[in-house]
Amino acid sequence: MQAARVLLQELAAHGVTDVVLSPGSRSAPLAHALAAAASAVPPPGAPHLALHVRIDERSAGFLALGLAKAAVATGAPRAVAVVTTSGTAVANLHPAVLEAHHSGLPLVVLSADRPHELRGTGANQTTDQVGIFGTATRFAVDVPAPSGRAGESRDLRQLVGRAMAEALGTRTGHPGPVHLNLAFRDPLVPDGTPWPDEPPVGRPTVVTAGVAVRDEPVAVDPVLDILQRGRDRTVVVAGDGAGPVARALAEAQGWPLLAEPSSGARGSAPAIGAYRALLDSALGRTVRRVVVLGRPTLSRPVQALLARDDVEVVVVAPGGGPWTDPSRRAALVLPAVPAAWLRADHRPAGGGGATPASDGWLDAWQQASVAALAAVARVLDGAEARDGTRSAPRLTGPGVARAVAQATRPDDVLVVGSSNPVRDLDLVADWSASPVVLANRGLAGIDGTVSTAVGVALGLPGRRVRALMGDLTFLHDVGGLLRGPLEREPDLQVVVANDDGGSIFTTLEHGAAEHAASFERVFGTPHGADLAALCAGYGIRHQLARDAEDLAVALAVPGPGIGVVEVRVDRSGRRELGAMLADGIRAAIVEVPTTKFAAGSQET
């Protein structure tokens, strides 16, 4: 019990405010200590912590991930801890740990374990938990069962300090998950002893030294000479987590900004709508340099751009983690954006010092963007129009995303699921001031999305939080709706575009006519699930939006607590709709002048 209490004291001292617990027997010392720390009046010596209890470890892991995302969104990142018992419970955290690893989120895994003498003996709920997450953790250690030896608490405090420095990326600039595997021996219950006093000294202070922070520019250095004599016609690609520095760079230099919804850079004059389609146009083919920030994960056209032999790729990669370069073509990797590049009076080669207006490069992209977004609206309006055989407009996946984007205010928070929803949002969102958009794009999986959204809503109680996801994503983590009556209820609206299966595959090569015989069973995967009945079983409010008017009303009045808005869409024409959108955009931008940019002149 004393070791568990010391552990919580140290976590709190290093900024942890939220802990998610999935109960079990071996983790009982931590559970008892957490219950005390989360009480209205914690006992002397106990920190004050917010406790969240979930019975499903996978949901618990993603709930903690959502809380960590919420902290990052406020501009004050902090680690979130998740506690499990031994055995399969630990393995159920692996998806969330992987997502935290690839997203750079500070997740602290505290797994209880049997003491060393029981391992390898066939003892119940005992397996090899040491290193169970492989290379996905920044720091992992197997902590022996406490024995009461002299200096044990001091050593544990030092260990937690080391682990927290790794989780927060204090020394490396590369935050991520850490794993403390904690062995406990009986007895596992409180014995009436008081909490230990926190030490006046002895806690390590870890100082950041020489680490470039994401939004902290670097000075121009001779190594940047390549940029001064580089090619013209630059665009900025802002992937997931790029941050506002990507927007600042595009604004300062007059470069088109191709920003994913979860980049944190959308919603400014240089932001280009429907940019994925524009990359396949004559204008897209004139690009000669790309500056990449964050992790671009959504688009094959963007990946094709980065792989082109006639395009110079510059990657901005803060911290000590790996940089994003799947095409293995980066000409230069920078720790941050050069300070001079954030000044409008300093333009590297590619504009020759010209203003955006006189150069016309950004103007051309903006004109194409306006035309493309108008074409998208025309195609979607046509696809959802009354056709004389229906009593209400037919809703499409992109149409649902458009309605959600239009209803989302700048101070709202939108959590978007992988697969089609995030791509639909990327296509239709046209924000002058972007809301906070969060997504699990570290590995771009559909798992844990409901729990992540719940964690975000719990972490941002003063904001209106909405989630947009597909039916398979919802069903994959429907257990995330489960909340015990003693747990705090967040305000969260979950919008589910239900097309009874995996419509993203219809847009890929698997959806071609020659694969129709096997498509439905192995790709489409219809399920026929009754979402209303599932919600009723979890005690969650459910609303079926039958048409665009129903959806507009539901989005305008989300209501308190958790509510699910189901919108049934038809995926049978999804592939054809994609072709119509592409054709419409191509026709709309044919008048945009691009001749002056052809061939991409080399400036020295």
Strand partners, 31: none
Same domain as 424, residue 342: no
Question: b vs e for 301-327, b when ≥16 Cβ sit within 10 Å of the residue's Cβ?
Answer: bbeebbeeeebbbbbbbbbebeebeee
Find the mean pLDDT for residues 530-538.
98
Residue 592: both structure tokens together? 């945009």
Same domain as 356, residue 442: no
Cα gap 75→166, rounded to integer Å: 19
Same domain as 525, residue 414: yes
Write down which residue in 145, 168, 183 finishes a domain. Answer: 183
313 pLDDT higher than 60: yes
Please name the residue ranges forming H helices in 83-150: 88-91, 94-103
- The predicted pLDDT at position 516 comes to 86
In a domain, 545, yes or no: yes
Q: Which residues contact 400 (CB under 8 A, 6 or more apart)?
A: 424, 468, 495, 497, 551, 567, 569
In a domain, 223, yes or no: no
219 pLDDT higher than 80: no
Number of domains forming the structure of the chain: 3
Same domain as 271, residue 126: no
In a domain, 208, yes or no: no
594 pLDDT higher than 70: no
Specify the CATH number for the domain of residue 331: 3.40.50.1220
358 band by pLDDT with thresholds 50, 70 and 90: very low
Taking residue 42's Cβ as centre, other Cβ atoms within 10 Å add up to 16
Same domain as 38, residue 155: yes
Same domain as 403, residue 366: no
Same domain as 420, residue 490: yes
In a domain, 388, yes or no: no
pLDDT, tens digit, 9 for 90 and up, residues 374-383: 999 999 999 8
Cα gap 576→582, rounded to integer Å: 10
- The predicted pLDDT at position 225 comes to 53
205 band by pLDDT with thresholds 50, 70 and 90: low
CA distances from 396 to 119, 377, 380, 431, 567 (A): 54, 12, 8, 20, 9
Strand partners, 21: 53, 83
Cα gap 459→204, rounded to integer Å: 28
189 band by pLDDT with thresholds 50, 70 and 90: very high
Same domain as 533, residue 502: yes
Find the mean pLDDT for residues 289-299.
94
Considering the entire predicted model, what is its pTM? Answer: 0.90
213 pLDDT higher than 70: no
pLDDT, tens digit, 9 for 90 and up, residues 458-487: 999 999 999 999 999 999 999 999 999 999
In a domain, 582, yes or no: no
Specify the CATH number for the domain of residue 157: 3.40.50.970
pLDDT, tens digit, 9 for 90 and up, residues 554-567: 999 999 999 999 99
Same domain as 362, residue 436: no
Same domain as 419, residue 355: no
Same domain as 403, residue 343: no
Same domain as 27, residue 164: yes
68 band by pLDDT with thresholds 50, 70 and 90: very high
Least confident residue range of 148-162, 314-328, 361-375: 314-328
- Look up the domain containing 65 and give its range: 2-183
pLDDT, tens digit, 9 for 90 and up, residues 84-106: 999 999 999 999 999 999 999 99
